[in-house]
Amino acid sequence: MSDEQAETQRISVSQIQAQKGGPPLVCLTAYSKPMAQWLDPYSDLLLVGDSLAMVIYGLETTRGVSLDAMINHGAAVMRGSTRACIIVDLPHGTYEDSPEQALASAKRVMEEAGVQGVKLEGGTDMQATIRLLVDNGIPVLGHIGLLPQKAESRGGFKIQGKDDEGWKRVMDDAKAVAEAGAFAMVIEGTIEALAREITDIVPVPTIGIGASPACDGQILVTEDALGLFSDFTPKFVKRYAELGQEVELAVKAYADDVKAGAFPGLEHCFGVPKDKD
């Protein structure tokens, strides 16, 4: 993106798509307005991921978050951003039954959150669904490889593509998602060589998470990268800060001040000498 474009308008899905093979796309997750404000100047795409089920709501898996919740978080992230392309995950149970169910859910997300597209997990099994959404003017970000919503039924959070069968399945998924018209696809948790080959083959950008530096972009769960979520830290996460520890130190200092009567000071009170309010 040129600096001029970045300052004047939100990055579109077409611009993301056009960046195939160009400078790496910078993508992160965001669930709230303040976090979106911090991330927006540096991000091409912000994903309102269903990972919020675990990171924000403390659930064991990404399942269990409602479409209403995703819409609310999507709208919050829109309010906190002006530059990045904003995409919302379709949560488990809102799109898998039929392409028509997916279309109804995606329409709600687009209309009520005002975002630029939706993401859904799956490959060959979701080809008809992606095609229907795209035909109805709804941009779709695909998600292949390790699929967190389906992890339980596939034996857990396992790296994909290690054997010939797994490699072929993920490769077929990548081709199906691209052929269906997705503007880009997330590749999660696959062996490096497979993500590299998919990136070479498909005509749309690949966005890696635990995949390969050869992908056209990278995404991380922001709270993982900032040290704000420590329940489980996968190998592919790089910690850029330990904000959780900073929060703990600050809260301890506050608690100590309150207990010692050191907060509030007179400067925090109204109607005392020198107070202009």
Active site residues: 188
End-to-end CA distance of the chain: 47
Element (H, E) at 7: helix 3-8
**84 close to 48: Cβ distance less than 8 angstroms:** no
CA dist., res. 126 & res. 66, Å (int)? 20
Q: How far is the CB of 171 from ligand KIV (least distance, A)?
A: 19
CB of 61 or CB of 264, closer to ligand KIV: 61
CB of 50 or CB of 173, closer to ligand KIV: 50
The 3-state secondary structure of 90-149 reads: CCCCCCCCCHHHHHHHHHHHHHHHCCCEEEEEECHHHHHHHHHHHHCCCCEEEEEECCHH
Q: Which two tokens stand for residue 211?
A: 């995949």
b/e 174-190 (16+ beta carbons within 10 angstroms → b): bbbbbebbbbbbbbbbb
CB of 48 or CB of 171, closer to ligand KIV: 48
Q: Which two tokens stand for residue 275?
A: 């107070």
Q: How far is the CB of 214 from ligand KIV (least distance, A)?
A: 17
Q: How far is the CB of 55 from ligand KIV (least distance, A)?
A: 8
Closest-approach residue to ligand KIV (CB): 49
Residue type, 12: S
CB of 11 or CB of 260, closer to ligand KIV: 11
Element (H, E) at 168: helix 164-180
CB of 1 or CB of 48, closer to ligand KIV: 48
DSSP code of 163?
Answer: S
Q: How far is the CB of 148 from ligand KIV (least distance, A)?
A: 7
Interacting residues with ligand KIV (CB under 6 A): 29, 47, 49-51, 62, 89, 143, 186, 188, 209, 219, 221
Q: How far is the CB of 130 from ligand KIV (least distance, A)?
A: 16
